[in-house]
């Protein structure tokens, strides 16, 4: 395994996850680029494992990340045919929360769909909510400029994380206090 320099962290945006990683995996590019992707995001049927078992199965370049883990998850045959997905594990289940949202490119084009889920211990519908969360990303395919976009069903990309007491681990936006401090410092410098 290749050692990464101190401070290295895999910190992709949602656009990068869908437009680069998921798209390349779906196109099954058998080149060096795809091998690098596999070292960061492995293919794993995550619903066969408990969420707390997933960190040890993450990509070799992301071992040791205490905040988030990424996986390509194959879609089950019945789901590909339009059936309900199976998201149960031995001790619980992943439950979708809220409505799915779109992932946009920097140019404003819809490139994917994101669904958020929470892991519950126990049997549905009386399970106990845990701090384990997941964002499941699916790509949208458009065959031509006038064709209707279609959701890709073969594979999804999942970001699994544990909710901490503070802000979300992968949220890159500055906190309100940091923004205020930055504005005050900027204003003080302009007054001089």
Residue 7 has what pLDDT? 62
3-state secondary structure of 19: helix
Contact 28, 53 (CB under 8 A): no
Structurally, how many domains does the chain consist of? 1
CATH number assigned to the domain comprising residue 60? 2.170.150.80
Range of the structural domain that residue 24 is part of: 14-191
**Cis amide linkage into residue 125, ω under 30° from 0:** yes
Write the pLDDT tens digit of every residue in 113-132.
999 999 999 998 899 999 99
In a domain, 1, yes or no: no
Alpha helices (H) along the chain: 14-16, 23-26, 32-40, 77-80, 176-191
Dihedral sign (CA 74, 101, 24, 157): negative
pLDDT of residue 136: 95
User: Does 51 map to a domain?
Assistant: yes
pLDDT under 50 in the chain at which residues? 1, 167-169, 171-192
Within-domain flag for 4: no
């Amino acid at each position: 395994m290749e050692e990464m320099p101190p401070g290295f962290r895999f910190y992709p945006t949602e656009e990068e996850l869908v437009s680069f990683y998921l798209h390349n995996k779906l196109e099954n590019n058998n080149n060096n680029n795809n091998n690098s992707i596999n070292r960061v995001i492995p293919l794993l049927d995550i619903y066969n494992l408990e969420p707390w078992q997933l960190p040890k199965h993450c990509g070799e370049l992301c071992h040791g990340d205490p905040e988030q883990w990424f996986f390509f998850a194959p879609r089950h045959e019945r789901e590909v045919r339009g059936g309900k997905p199976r998201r149960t594990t031995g001790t619980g289940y992943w439950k979708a929360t809220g409505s799915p949202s779109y992932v946009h490119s920097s140019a404003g084009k819809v490139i994917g769909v994101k669904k958020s889920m929470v892991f519950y211990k126990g049997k549905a519908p009386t399970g106990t909510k845990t701090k384990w969360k997941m964002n499941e990303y699916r790509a949208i395919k458009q065959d031509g400029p006038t064709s209707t976009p279609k959701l890709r069903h073969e594979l999804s990309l999942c970001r699994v994380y544990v909710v901490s007491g503070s802000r979300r681990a992968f949220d890159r936006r500055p906190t309100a206090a940091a923004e205020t401090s930055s504005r005050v410092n900027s204003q003080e410098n302009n007054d001089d």
